Amino acid sequence: MSPPVHLWGSLTAVLQRLMAHAWCALLLDYDGTLTPIVANPAEARLSPAMRRVLTALARHPRYRVAIVSGRALADLRGRVDIEAAWLAGNHGLEIEGPRTAYRHPGALRFRPAIEALARTLQSALREMPGALVEDKGLTLTIHTRRTPAALLPTVKRLVFRLVRPAIDAGLLTLRTGKAAWEVRPRVTWDKGKAVRWIAERVRMEMPEANGLAVYIGDDDTDEDAFRALGSAGIGIVVGDDRSTSAAHYYVESVEQTAQFLGLLRARAWPKARGAASSLSPWERARMRALPSDSRAALLPSPRPSHTGRGGVILGPMGSPGEVGTSLQAVETHYP
């Protein structure tokens, strides 16, 4: 597998591929993708500019915006609150969207084990500076971003020792994240399967149209989504830890995620006075740096037909299928 390449170097090809499809499922991680990673997870909020661009894309008929996060669904709902957006919490174990609600039936059976382990971990780690146990209902997370480096081995030993009985009993799994450990019920479900589930529902809305899915994320848990998309979709990893990623492209930061989404919004909502004048200073600078034949791909194009076949993407529960919905790119436009 080849490592991902920088998105800016392939921007023309990516935009042309997006515009060749009638719809786009735009699936986005939250922490580290739409908001910077912060020491206290409670402080991670969408910036006003990011909220505006996501809202604009969610309202556009070609796009279906979904936020796919490890956060609990209720927490995610309070932070996003964008009408028409899909929300997938707890790595997709609970999902809600337009006229749709889903909670993984198998995960509910493990709630007592999660709750008991959360109490045990909270008691054991109470004296460990910076260690935070977050009970998210269907999963739990042990955060260590604020823990002094010298204490991390001790915290790791405690966590592994206390989680081991539930793992050996076949109840729970333990997975590493960015300065965190994720404890989940032992069910065959992850962000990749959640992405497939959402994309299939979007396809059912517009079965006559061809569509494409784009996933952007920064964490190890997002690799499940990149693998689920494969060559049928577009995967974009955020940050420096990307050499082994299954994504096709990378951006370096939340700011570059916002810039890409802004470009998509510019194409989705061109201003009446002309496409070029609707671009932000950043976008105009990007266009000047591109070859002349590439600039046309950045300007709004006629809406593609909603007929025809193509765009193989996520089929029902893991099988390839045709996804037909209008996916459009998101632009980071800072008015």
> Would you please indicate which residues are annotated as catalytic (active-site) residues?
29
Say how far apart CA 35 and CA 13 lie, in whole Å: 27
- CA 17, 19, 20, 23 torsion: positive or negative? positive
The answer to whether 246 and 60 are in contact (CB under 8 A) is no
CA–CA gap between residue 91 and residue 73 (Å, rounded)? 9
